[in-house]
Amino acid sequence: MSKAYVVPPFKIKMVEPLRKISRKARIQKLKEAGYNPFALRSEDVFIDLLTDSGTGAMSHFQWSAMMQGDESYAGSRSYYHLEKVVKDITGYAYVLPAHQGRGAEQIVIPQLVQRPGMFFISNMHFDTTRAHVELAGARALDVVDDDCFDTEKYCPFKGNFDLVKLENLIKDKQPENIAGIIMTVTNNSAGGQPVSLANMCAVKKMADHYGIKTIIDGARYAENAYFISVREETCKTMTIRQIARQMFDCADIFLMSAKKDGLVNIGGLIAIKDDEQLFKACRTYMVPMEGFPTYGGLAGRDLEAMAIGLQEALDKHYLAHRIDEVRYLGDRLRAAGVPIQHPTGGHAVFVDGGKMCPHIPYHQFPAQAVVNELYIEGGIRAVEIGSMMLGRDPDTRAQLKSHLELIRLTIPRRTYTYTHLDFVADCLIAVYQRRHTLKGYTFVYEPEVLRHFTAVLKPLE
């Protein structure tokens, strides 16, 4: 008989207590938070699946490395350790640390926008990337493969670019107006779905033909490399590191929130393949925005932890367990009839809130209704990835309609057990069984940028 799960390739050395408050208290806490789980205090959350960004557990190797952090303002030894690791993994010539992924974005994206009205094209921009594109005076366009919008259809690489749409869009907008092509790997907004190496190579070839820079938004590049190793026939004999290097060969720039596949609580990266002029421009801009180029908004101990974490995240045994946790939760939900993005992706199970609550229109945020009900049911904090997160058209201010109304159950790395995931499944199944009673939401307070982080909502009667 085959195992139901992959045995974790680590043992637990330190624990943090969890507290579950009463259902009555949860209802009151959610109301006080403006029906926005981002505003909940962590002490009032039992199982926190809001994000995998900086929420994972570090290894004893990382903790010990932190004691060796060089806290020099300039020329830190810890920076040069990190630089060597990043160069070894990517093959890129230039490396700059940042405090997190959006710190990297705010440095690089404005350097690529030569004038207002330019465009970035992606398989799917995530929220902060889209915001930085718009803040820089450009516009974000998505050309993901349509397979990702059919959540019930099995496709091994639902995160892929639609290459025909990509080329048509380049021609329509004119190559000189394209500031860059951003490959988001894995494709978060599509459900944590991987992008094939063949697709990345084809995008790079097209971009080179039209003289356009390519950028990897690679917060979860190691997970993407693992999917390639098990799903892409031509890559099954390659190591994870070899696949990762070939992925990096498909781009000119690498931006990363290291809080994901860097296995750290804080940190980000900019790596540039060979464009010295761009590197110098980013380095100059970094000083007022993030800090001196050899610390980039981080302490030396953070740089040391990142250097170790980047290497640990490429371990195939760790990745096999990581991906299996997500698969396990997804299988439990599917068996109970809960609609999810299938197959499951690398960092989260994405529940199809549009199918779960078809009676709630997109502008009343059906996925947010499920997210809030899940907290009431079991103290579980998740996040909406749908029309609420997508926001408004930057020009007309009309509410945009997301292709998918998703609830993201994001699994922190090396943090929860399969038993925790069973509890999550049981709670969501209970919500699913009373889904017809759920109601939509409207805004009480709506920020102009990245509204989902700090918005205040109220339920509709």
217 is catalytic: yes
Q: Is the pLDDT of residue 449 over 90?
A: no
Joined together, the tokens standing for residue 223 give 């997970």
Query: Mean pLDDT across the chain, nearest whole number?
Result: 96
210 is catalytic: no
375 is catalytic: no
What's the average model confidence in pLDDT over 115-138? 93
Q: Which of 73, 149, 445, 453 is catalytic?
A: 73
Helix (H) or strand (E) holding 135: helix 127-135
Q: Is the pLDDT of residue 1 over 50?
A: no
CA dihedral 111, 112, 116, 121 (to 10 degrees): -140
Q: Which of 132, 213, 347, 452 is catalytic?
A: 452
Q: Which of 260, 273, 342, 347 is catalytic?
A: 260
202 is catalytic: no
Q: Report percent pLDDT > 90 for the chain.
A: 96
* Burial of residue 13, with CB atoms counted within 10 A of its CB: 0-12 exposed, 13-18 middle, 19 or more buried: exposed
Q: Is the pLDDT of residue 283 over 50?
A: yes
Q: Which of 120, 126, 221, 295 is catalytic?
A: 126
Structure confidence at residue 443 as a pLDDT band (50, 70, 90) = very high
pTM for this model (two decimals): 0.95
The pLDDT of residue 180:
98
Contact 357, 366 (CB under 8 A): yes
452 is catalytic: yes
Q: Which of 104, 219, 271, 305 is catalytic?
A: 219
What domains are there in the chain, each with its CATH number? 23-52+315-459 (3.90.1150.10), 60-312 (3.40.640.10)
Q: Is the pLDDT of residue 135 over 60?
A: yes
How many Å separate Cα 206 from the centre of its chain? 25
Q: Which residue has the tokens 């490395």?
A: 65
CA distances from 323 to 93, 222, 260, 308 (A): 31, 11, 13, 20
The pLDDT of residue 126:
86
Contact 249, 91 (CB under 8 A): yes
Q: Report percent pLDDT > 70 for the chain.
A: 99
What's the average model confidence in pLDDT over 216-237? 97
The pLDDT of residue 2:
42
The pLDDT of residue 127:
84
Q: Which of 217, 302, 324, 352 is catalytic?
A: 217
Amino acid code (one letter) for 411: I
Spatial CB neighbours of 261, under 8 Å, sequence gap ≥ 6? 218, 219, 220, 221, 222, 223, 310, 313
Structure confidence at residue 3 as a pLDDT band (50, 70, 90) = low
Taking only the tens place, the pLDDT of each residue in 348-395 is: 999 999 999 999 999 999 999 999 999 999 999 999 999 999 999 888
73 is catalytic: yes
| Cα–Cα distance for residue pair 169/207, rounded to 1 Å | 12
Contact 272, 278 (CB under 8 A): yes
What's the average model confidence in pLDDT over 299-307? 98
| Cα–Cα distance for residue pair 44/62, rounded to 1 Å | 29
219 is catalytic: yes
Reduced to 3 states (helix: H, G, I; strand: E, B; else coil), residue 458 is strand
Q: Which of 44, 48, 127, 302 is catalytic?
A: 127
CA angle 402, 450, 215 (to 5 degrees): 80
Taking only the tens place, the pLDDT of each residue in 230-279 is: 999 999 999 999 999 999 999 999 999 999 999 999 999 999 999 999 99
Handedness of CA 391, 397, 399, 401 (dihedral sign): negative
Paired strand residues for 392: 399
| Cα–Cα distance for residue pair 363/433, rounded to 1 Å | 23
The pLDDT of residue 415:
97
Q: Averaging pLDDT over each range in 42-56, 123-137, 387-401, which range is the top one?
A: 42-56
